[in-house]
């Protein structure tokens, strides 16, 4: 059991029989009243999003999860297909609710998967990752304004705003949470 006030973004809960991931948490004190928290929960079985209001003293059921290494194989649009690196067994995680993850997964790469009672629940994306720029316009000649930026497209299809000196074929580091450019990576 966990007090609702201790629930944070990233907590896994068992709620009405289904596993949920907390994706947002906000505390509210209505009109100088006592503290409540508002949660946005994602049902990890169906991808459905649920909003729930709880008093910070209410109990919730936290689930104990474990992590395993998996290899990302491909997506068919409905699901992401993975393989456990130890047993070579394959499984699928629904794309619904995880649409954004496709920008950070390249076929053949290894990720950590969050497991609960031998069910895969969530894929962990590293906070920072390096990608190749596949589309970039050349900087306009004579444009020397400091801080000038432009859009480029990465190998996974993600569009990011980068400094004007970044060229096609170069590698750049991305903050996967904010989807923002961090730095150019040499070599």
Residue 7 burial (C-beta neighbours within 10 Å; 0-12, 13-18, 19+): buried
Give residue 185's region: left, alpha or beta (phi > 0; psi -120 to 50): beta
Q: Which stretch binds other proteins (CB under 8 A): 2-10, 12-20, 71-79, 92-100?
A: 2-10
**Min separation Cβ 182 and other proteins, Å:** 15
Residue 111 structure tokens: 């990720």
Decide: is 46 part of the binding site for other proteins (CB under 8 A): no
Cα dihedral 122, 126, 128, 134 sign: negative
CB of 27 to other proteins, least distance (A): 4
Instruction: Give the one residue of 14, 23, 50, 56 binding other proteins; rule: CB under 8 A.
Output: 56
Enter the DSSP assignment of 24: E
- Interface with other proteins in residues 5-44 (CB under 8 A): 5-6, 8, 26-36, 38
Is 178 a binding residue for other proteins by CB under 8 A? The answer is: no
d(CA 3, CA 8): 11
Using the rule CB under 8 A, which residue among 45, 46, 48, 53 binds other proteins? 53
Footprint on this chain of other proteins (rule: CB under 8 A): 3, 5-6, 8, 26-36, 38, 51, 53-59
């Amino acid at each position: 059991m966990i007090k609702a006030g201790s629930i944070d973004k990233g907590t896994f809960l068992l709620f009405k029989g289904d596993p949920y991931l907390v994706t947002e948490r906000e505390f509210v004190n209505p009109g100088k009243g006592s503290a409540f928290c508002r949660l946005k929960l994602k049902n990890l079985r169906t991808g459905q999003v649920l909003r729930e209001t709880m008093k910070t003293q209410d109990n919730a059921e936290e689930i104990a999860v474990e992590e395993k290494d998996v290899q990302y194989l491909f997506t068919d649009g409905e699901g992401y297909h993975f393989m456990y690196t130890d047993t070579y067994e394959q499984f699928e995680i629904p794309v619904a609710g995880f649409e954004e993850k496709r920008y950070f997964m390249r076929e053949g790469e290894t990720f950590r998967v969050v497991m609960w009672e031998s069910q895969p629940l969530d894929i962990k994306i590293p906070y920072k990752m390096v990608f190749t720029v596949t589309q970039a316009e050349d900087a306009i000649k004579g444009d020397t304004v400091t801080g000038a930026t432009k859009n480029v497209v990465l190998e996974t299809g993600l569009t990011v705003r980068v400094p004007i000196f970044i060229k096609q074929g170069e590698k750049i580091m991305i903050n996967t949470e904010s989807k923002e450019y961090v730095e150019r990576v040499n070599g």
